[in-house]
Structure 1
């Protein structure tokens, strides 16, 4: 395969990874309501995010009704970020465990009810790195920086493949255990049914013998 072909494959893989590890959105939240967003992150992966309320009246102070309580938690419930009655914020952490990390937005209850528009950006893995600082710190050329990005992208893809393989093995093991339990339960149910049928036959036989019908 030519170098150009290899380069194109790596670029495509990089774009796929970028799409997976970067999430930017805008959504609306009614006063008194909650919205939670989850991201599957593997251990030791860097994650950064920022959020902010969009001012409905540009050029004027943000209304008092536009405040949020924000919490980021790990799969085991550990807190990684907490913002109380804020209009914007940022967070950054390195995942200590595999699984779904969750961010929840609570809109303060307000009368009359208000609709809050929120801009939210969440990046993990390669997408979470600040490459401008890397370039400034290392004084590297543009090509070197792109190669470093590409190398980190390929490394992340490699790690992601192993992570997905581990998750697949866990699911297969869970399926095997479930099938084994279902087989045991089916056998137990069959034994119970046979026992009940035997008791019914014995009861009927005893009943008819007492009535001297047998």
Structure 2
């Protein structure tokens, strides 16, 4: 019973993670760039849209600029002087993708925010098109969604295991370097002590104290 509850809890957590639908509001400073980093797997579909938010009523709409870069610094989306926009791309490498926004036009100096809605992985699939193309609906469609979700969970577990292996390799390498550094430090201390003892003996013999 406990194992079933733990599994359901884990399934619920992964469902929230892989069906990533939601908005993130970023408050933009006047003369600075605000960025958001998201860890995304390789070969994942990424869809999103963003829009400028402000409280005051003004005639001229403020605008922002947006830039999205990959973990290796490649520019995937670069738009300037817009009040809203959309982006879509498929990742080629896994890692942290950076979404940056900054103010471009704000003559009244009002307080600006950007609301970004980001969807990745399973949540980015167009299930209406899939249902029409494969002529499925109802329970069959829900089972197909669960199938994609289980595959996403499996891929995420493999990704986490690979990251764990890399972290373990780094940790073992660091421990080995620290151990060798300790041995070298001990050797240097012992050598310095022997030199000091030899110098003291030489000094005492010169003074004929021993």
Measured against the shorter chain, the TM-score band is 0.7 to 0.9
Equivalent in the alignment of 1:20: 17
Segments of 5+ residues of structure 1 without an aligned counterpart are none
Shift in Å, 1:30 = 2.2
Q: Is the 8 A contact 1:41 1:101 kept in 2?
A: yes
Q: Deviations over 1:78-113 (max 9, x none)?
A: 111111222221111111112111111122386764
Q: Deviations over 1:33-60 (max 9, x none)?
A: 22211111111111111111025356x6
Q: Is the 8 A contact 1:32 1:110 kept in 2?
A: no
Q: Is the 8 A contact 1:50 1:91 kept in 2?
A: yes
2: distance between equivalents of 1:204 and 1:84?
74
- Higher mean C-alpha deviation, range 19-28 or range 154-163: 19-28
Equivalent in the alignment of 1:185: 181
**TM-score when scaled to structure 2?**
0.85
Segments of 5+ residues of structure 2 without an aligned counterpart are none
1: distance between equivalents of 2:145 and 2:59?
40
Evaluate the alpha carbon distance shift between residue 119 and residue 125 of structure 1 in structure 2; reply closer, same or farther with a 3 A threshold: same
- SS of the counterpart of 1:108? strand
1:46 aligns with 2:45: yes
Shift in Å, 1:135 = 2.4
Shift in Å, 1:61 = 4.4
Q: Is the 8 A contact 1:51 1:119 kept in 2?
A: yes
Equivalent in the alignment of 1:95: 91
2: distance between equivalents of 1:109 and 1:204?
76
Shift in Å, 1:128 = 1.2
Evaluate the alpha carbon distance shift between residue 12 and residue 166 of structure 1 in structure 2; reply closer, same or farther with a 3 A threshold: closer
Equivalent in the alignment of 1:80: 76
Q: How do residues 1-214 of structure 1 correspond to structure 2 at under 5 angstroms?
A: 9=8, 13=11, 15-21=12-18, 22=20, 23-57=22-56, 61-63=59-61, 66-108=62-104, 113-214=109-210
Q: What is the root-mean-square deviation in Å for CA atoms of aligned residues?
A: 2.5
2: distance between equivalents of 1:62 and 1:131?
38
Pairs aligned (count): 204
- Higher mean C-alpha deviation, range 80-89 or range 174-183: 80-89
- SS of the counterpart of 1:27? strand
Evaluate the alpha carbon distance shift between residue 31 and residue 136 of structure 1 in structure 2; reply closer, same or farther with a 3 A threshold: farther
**TM-score when scaled to structure 1?**
0.84
